[in-house]
Structure 1
Amino acid sequence: MKRPFRNVPRMTLHPPYRLLMGPGPVNADPRVLRAMSAPLVGQFDPVMTGYMNATQDLYRQVLRTTNDATLLVDGTARAAIEAALVSLVEPGDTVLVPVFGRFGHLLVEIARRAGAKVATVDAPWGQVVDPQAVADAVRAHRPRVVAVVHGDTSTTMRQPLADIGAVCAEHDALLYVDATASLGGNDVRTDDWGLDVVTAGLQKCLGGPPGSAPATLSDRARDAVRARTHVEEGLRTDADEPRGTVIGSNYLDLAQVLDYWGPRRLNHHTEATSMLYAAHECARVLLEEGLDAAVERHRRAGAALLAGVQALGLAVFGDPAHRMHNVVAVEVPDGVVADAVRAAMLDDFAIEIGTSFGPLHGRVWRIGTMGVNARKDAVLTTLAALEHVLRAQGVAVPPGGGVSAAQEAYAA
């Protein structure tokens, strides 16, 4: 039965202000929001193609690479993850995934959807995978692709990468890295570490909104993507291009996206103009600060938050030697309802903190210090609010202990 037509009242969106101190998204930098309000131009307007070229150059610097194949994937960070794997992997290929949290399992799922045979090398949540174990697994499985998360926000752990690239190159494996949660707040060195493909997102340390995903491909990865591309006749002009296995996605086919961003400007999709403006400004803000300075700012903010929660008597989850700069996993005290604390933080203080996934759901709060929120006042405000909410829940916390410890950490 059809529903009767109704006049729907016109509604204006008035989002409440939130201080987003969870694992992402975070508050967008005001400069980025202003950039998004700029007028639209056509996707093949010389002004627009100039902006695309400029954005590519900025992200080469952000990703510390000279890769020509550097671009944006229109979509959230997961779109770029899927684009990378579906464009690199052919059915029957072996993909090796080091798994140490929720997002390693995501890489496994996407690789299997692409038809890969997936092997894993696992670490308990709260630890990282020993690089030697990864190297041994590469030698044992001889994968086509090694796919690894750099910083897994589900556990707040950061996987060491510097020694993996050489092993992958030695055994002709392509190394894909998901740097969604780490880029901009932790060291990411694409060329120095031998990373073949790196993808990220704006909504964490880059300080932008979700919806655009920077990506870069080495020459070796770009050639592998092109070698397996097959498209319908009539969509390309050069009929002698290599023909490989048909990939599973059109929109996320990086070979076609590369042609769209390359000198031929072959039509593939309509560029998300306002998101390109956002991505461009995110990179400009970061590079004006300096990559090393931004990483240090995130390190200091994360260290201050860590000192603060520990001074409140709270335990921190995970191996401290491999903790990301920008997210702390705080263990929920016995007798405290995790979601009740999160709700009080949001309702009373307009501060959002996160929970986690799977075995950590309800066991930890994930508190992020990233992007524009990796600053002293945001850290101190969050700690003061958390202290108040915990006391209201009956937890004995030292008055002002968290804020004082954080201030001392900043002063050190």
Structure 2
Amino acid sequence: MTQPVNPPVRLLMGPGPIDADPRVLRALSTPLVGQYDPWMTATMTETQELYRQVFGTRNDATMLVDGTSRAGIEAALVSLLAPGDRVLVPVFGRFGHLLAEIATRAGAEVHTIETEWGQVFPPSVIEDAVRRVRPKVLAVVQGDTSTTMNQPLDELGAICERHGVLLYTDATASIGGNPLETDAWGIDVVSAGLQKCLGGPSGSAPITLSPRAVSVLDGRRSIEAGIREADDVVSDDPIRSNYLDLAMILDYWGPRRLNHHTEAASMLYAANECARILLEEGREAVIERHATAGRAMLAGVEALGLRVFGDVAHKMHNVVAVEIPDDVVGDQVRGAMLEDHGIEIGTSFGPLHGRVWRIGTMGYNARKDTVVRTLAALEHCLRRAGHAVPQGAGVDAALDVHADPAVDADRTAPVGAPA
């Protein structure tokens, strides 16, 4: 006989997903309405306005792509890039490779530049590559959780404007917990997800597009033959996806409300509530909460005698990569954290697999009590595994940061952060 869904209680302190805010879980459980019910369309319109504020933009073309954050990435790239278009991808971790792969599948001519994992690109290096490649699109990850690095974006919009390039960024891991100013930084397209700093479940991808990006979509417009209207222009080279065609999705979210898909109502409710919670607390206050929790976790693991991977000055607020001591087996410690304490932390990918643990402090879990609980459990598991650690030092260091959030604040402030 089958059993009802009853997952174990976990504290998700990895690189994401994280525990959803209880308000978001309640929103997910509310009743469904039809996709053209006036309440539903009004909620869609309201959600668009909420995410304009989250993204820091006035773009009319702000909406949700139904699917995980990867659906938002793919929708952006497949809609912007026609076969043969050049795209430049700066790669500083796993998710830069993902952007390059998706662009390749879209038929683009993909050019990459790479830096050592744990580092970011100076803007001058990116501009040199833009001059050399002359891409249609510069596609860059803001925060790459595989390395925990936060690529500075505040100068890239001006670079792209000088060279006639569209700027796209994947902000899935960074939005909400780190500064992101779409309009002020001149970013044309930003896609994101709910499951990290926004405090929701995976399954909805907020996205925003500048008027310049929308004009590219209009040039590649493809409307289903059954609903094509007389004034629609159909390109000889249409967007090569129906579900992820942003031009069609815009028609669904826009004033014409042309049918494209049945909106995922429960995920709409969740996305709406994620944005509402963030804006009620205040964008800057949420960023500072993440910064404080991140500094506390960083101070705690260092006080335990553990080394931190990468350029800490360019680390995201919301995740830290901790080098695994030579005298323990990383997966065994992670397993003990889960089995003995109900806390999940992550490993990493590629060259960092088995070398680091990734510990997140994001969304609903960017709090003092979760940081303290995680550090206490990590200390216990390390000691049980035979690794000597100073008793209570991690918790004490984290509490000191929370008592005085200005402690070491300059160490982890990314470029573009508020002073």
Partner of 1:6: none
**Structure 2 residue 155 is the aligned partner of structure 1 residue 163:** yes
Q: CA separation in 1, counterparts of 2:395 and 2:151?
A: 30
* 1:185-334 superposed matches below 5 A: 185-334=177-326
> Does 2:131 match 1:115?
no
Q: Distance in 1 between matches of 2:149 and 2:345?
A: 18
Residue equivalent to 2:358 = 366
The question of whether the paired residues in 1 share the 8 Å contact of 2:223 and 2:234 is answered with no
CA contact under 8 A between 1:227 and 1:244: conserved in structure 2?
Answer: no
CA–CA distance in 1 between the matches of 2:124 and 2:402? 35
Other-structure match for 1:5: none
Aligned residues of 2:12 and 2:19 also touching (Cα < 8 A): yes
Query: 1:140 maps to which residue?
Result: 132
Stretch moving more, 135-144 or 181-190: 135-144
Q: Distance in 2 between matches of 1:257 and 1:201?
A: 17
Structure 1 residue 90 corresponds to structure 2 residue 82: yes
State how 1:40-189 maps to structure 2 within 5 Å.
40-189=32-181
Three-state SS of the structure 2 residue aligned to 1:160 is coil
Consecutive aligned runs of 4 or more in structure 1 exceeding 6 Å deviation: none
1: distance between equivalents of 2:383 and 2:225?
Answer: 67
Provide structure 1 residue ranges, at least 5 long, that are not aligned to the other structure.
1-8
Secondary structure in structure 1 of the residue aligned to 2:63: strand
Please list the CA deviations of residues 85-127 of structure 1 after superposition, one character each: whole Å capped at 9, or x if unmatched: 0000000000000100000000000000000111112110000
The DSSP-based 3-state class of the residue aligned with 1:190 is coil
Determine if contact 1:229/1:244 at 8 Å carries over to the other structure.
no
The Cα of 1:129 is off from its aligned counterpart by 1.2
Q: What residue is the counterpart of 1:388 in the other structure?
A: 380
Question: Residues of 1 paired with 2:240 and 2:14: CA distance?
Answer: 34
SS at match of 1:325: coil
The superposition leaves residues 306-328 of structure 1 with CA deviations (integer Å, 9 ceiling, x where unpaired) of 00000000000000110000000
Q: How far 1:172 moved relative to its partner?
A: 1.4
Tell me, what secondary structure is at the counterpart of 1:13?
coil
Tell me the secondary structure at the aligned position of residue 225 of structure 2.
coil
Q: 1-side partners of 2:391 and 2:104: how far apart?
A: 51
What is the rounded CA distance, in whole Å, between the counterparts of 2:231 and 2:254 in structure 1? 18
Any conservation in 1 of the 2:136–2:166 contact (CA below 8 Å)?
yes
Residue 42 of structure 1 and its aligned partner are, at CA, apart by 0.3
Structure 2 residue ranges without an equivalent (≥5): 405-419
User: Match for 1:360: what amino acid?
Assistant: L
- Contact 1:146 1:175 (8 Å CA) reproduced: yes
2:336 equivalent in structure 1: 344
Q: Please say if residues 81 and 103 of structure 2, whose CA atoms lie closer than 8 Å, have aligned partners that are also in contact.
A: yes
Structure 2 CA distance for aligned equivalents of residues 122 and 226 of structure 1: 33
Q: Deviations over 1:106-159 (max 9, x none)?
A: 000000000011111211000001211101111111100000000000000000
Q: Contact conserved, 2:194 with 2:203, CA < 8 A, in 1?
A: yes
Find the aligned partners of 1:123 and 1:141 in 2 and give their Cα distance. 17
Question: CA-atom RMSD, angstroms?
Answer: 0.8
Q: Is the 8 A contact 1:64 1:189 kept in 2?
A: yes
What amino acid is aligned across from residue 192 of structure 1 in structure 2?
Answer: A
- Distance in 2 (alpha carbons) for counterparts of 1:205 and 1:39: 26
Q: Secondary structure at the residue paired with 2:178?
A: coil
On the 8 A contact 2:327/2:386 being kept in 1, the answer is: no
> Taking structure 2 as the reference length, what is the TM-score of the superposition?
0.95
Aligned equivalent of 2:397:
405
SS at match of 2:183: coil
Distance in 1 between residues matched to 2:153 and 2:125, nearest whole Å: 12
Give, as a single letter, the amino acid of the residue that structure 1 aligns with 2:168.
Y
1:244 Cα shift? 4.2
Deviation at 1:232, TM superposition (A): 3.9
Shift of 1:237: 1.2
User: Which amino acid is the alignment partner of residue 380 of structure 2?
Assistant: H
Per-residue CA deviation, residues 219-264 of structure 1 (Å, 9 max, x unaligned), is 0001101211223423221344252412221000000000000000
Q: How far apart, in 1, do the equivalents of 2:84 and 2:10 lie?
A: 46
Matched position secondary structure for 1:40? coil
Identity %: 68
What is the alpha-carbon distance in structure 2 between the residues aligned to residue 118 and residue 176 of structure 1?
A: 14
